């Protein structure tokens, strides 16, 4: 099977997208599928470049046995051709990534850009809410959504390769 390259995108790349990256990495490691995926995350903004994930998100993930290894970076035009799928956390992220894609025109080989929540199976949400300005429960809720969406995404990717 060809390697699948996935990029998770949120606003600052310190809460939702590094959590999605960590959850997906945790899932594929548990299933022994690490060699079949390249997983990364980025933000549409560059304010936090180089920083680790938000300490509250890291703590919430650690309580679930999930490690968040990434350092924040900003999405680049090259990501649109370097990844197979770009999964966005909310409508603003989706529109921003789609605007970047328009800069490249309609060339072949562009990543599929889609909302992360389109892969949810158990929970119903149109967006992964930004927990940054809220309390601890917001980080738990985001992880619940991401665990559901990442499981659905993996299911889709494995089904599609058959």
130 is catalytic: yes
Interatomic CA distance for residues 53 and 124, integer angstroms: 25
58 is catalytic: no
Please give the distance of CA 71 from its chain centroid, rounded to a whole number. Answer: 13
Helix axes 16-30, 55-62, angle to 10 degrees: 20
- Provide the token pair at 96: 């921003």
Which residue is catalytic, options 16, 58, 120, 148?
A: 16
Which residue is catalytic, options 10, 15, 120, 150?
A: 10
16 is catalytic: yes
Which residue is catalytic, options 79, 84, 130, 148?
A: 130
Residue bearing tokens 């992880």: 143
Q: How many CB atoms lie within 10 A of CB 4?
A: 20
Indicate which residues carry an active-site annotation: 10, 16, 130
């Amino acid at each position: 099977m060809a390697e699948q390259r996935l990029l998770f995108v949120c606003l600052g790349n310190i809460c939702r997208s590094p959590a999605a990256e960590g959850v997906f990495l945790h899932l594929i490691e548990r299933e022994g599928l690490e060699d079949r995926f390249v997983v990364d995350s980025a933000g549409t903004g560059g304010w936090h470049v180089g920083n680790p994930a938000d300490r509250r998100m890291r703590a919430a993930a650690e309580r679930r046995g999930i490690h968040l290894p990434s350092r924040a970076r900003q999405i680049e035009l090259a990501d649109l051709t370097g990844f197979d799928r770009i999964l966005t956390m909310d409508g603003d992220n989706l529109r921003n990534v789609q605007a970047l894609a328009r800069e490249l025109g309609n060339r072949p080989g562009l990543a599929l850009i889609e909302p992360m929540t389109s892969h949810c199976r158990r929970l119903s949400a149109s967006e992964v809410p930004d927990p940054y300005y809220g309390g601890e429960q917001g980080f738990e809720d985001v992880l619940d959504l991401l665990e559901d969406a990442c499981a659905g995404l993996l299911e889709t990717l494995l089904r599609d390769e058959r």
